[in-house]
Amino acid sequence: MAPVNLKAATKVYCSILFDHINPSPCTLCGQSDSGGLCADCLPLLPRVTEPICRCGLPHGDDSTTLADPVAPLCGRCVRQPPPFSASQAPLQYNFPVDALITRYKHRADLTVERAISPLLAETPLPWVDTDALCPLPVHWRRRWRRGFDQGAHLAHLLGRYWQRPVLPALVRQRATPSQQGLTRRQRQRNLRKAFECQRPVSGLRLILVDDVMTTGSSARAAAQCLLDHGAADVRVWTLARTLGHRRD
């Protein structure tokens, strides 16, 4: 078992307790509320519009070109199909979503979790044949520094809403450098043999859960690891998806 950073973990749990005792104002407008986002600001979060490709990008987005107007794949996925069979994200990784996720991931700001909870509660299970949710893991050193694993938090929150078990089947066996700022090719090299499957997954239909999909390199590597260990199917759900002309 990975060591626990007691200082960081205590900070997270104290944040939970304090937030319940003293609810913060709305994260965006600052008006008094029960914490998180108020009813006026929640609809302002930029949404991903359908139809979407297997990689999670809308077909109408400038970064994709349909190889066939009827086909479910964009041109990029036709050339290099991802190992996962589908992906979905309710939000675009633009302001204010990017700022909220940064606070959630790097500062363990759980008011953000409360802010997005109404959105998640209204999000139906996208694939009803799913057997379990699998968090996309962070390396134990990164989790130790933060005292927080955003993918695991999201997976357990969704598991309650979707009534599906959480199966932490993957571990990150290498402390890979941060993916931020890397090109698609650099990300792929960075993630070679990064994941290891530590639980039986043979025959299971799984949803990988994470906070953000950028180029999809982490999701590809994790999905391939699960499939190599016998998973019947892997889909990906992230809270947000990077759109537009980003570095890849």
Interhelix angle 6-21/110-121, nearest 10 degrees: 60
CA distance 93 to 88: 13
- Listed in sequence order, the residues at least 6 apart from 128 whose beta carbon sits closer than 8 Å to its beta carbon are none
217: nearest Cα among 172, 186, 175: 186
pLDDT of residue 248: 37
pLDDT tens for 137-187 read 987 676 667 667 889 999 999 999 999 999 999 999 876 655 556 566 666
User: Distance of CA 67 to CAs 49, 59, 81, 84, Å?
Assistant: 19, 10, 13, 19
CA distance 154 to 170: 15
H-helix or E-strand spanning residue 163: none
Q: What is the pTM of this model?
A: 0.81
Residue ranges of the chain whose pLDDT lies below 70: 1-24, 32-36, 60-72, 140, 142-144, 146-147, 175-192, 244-248
Domain ranges within the chain, ordered by starting residue: 6-241
Q: 185-203: b or e for each residue (b if 16 or more CB lie within 10 Å)?
A: eebbebbeebbebeeebee
Q: In percent, how much of the chain has pLDDT > 90? A: 43
Find residue 88's DSSP bridge partners.
Answer: 237
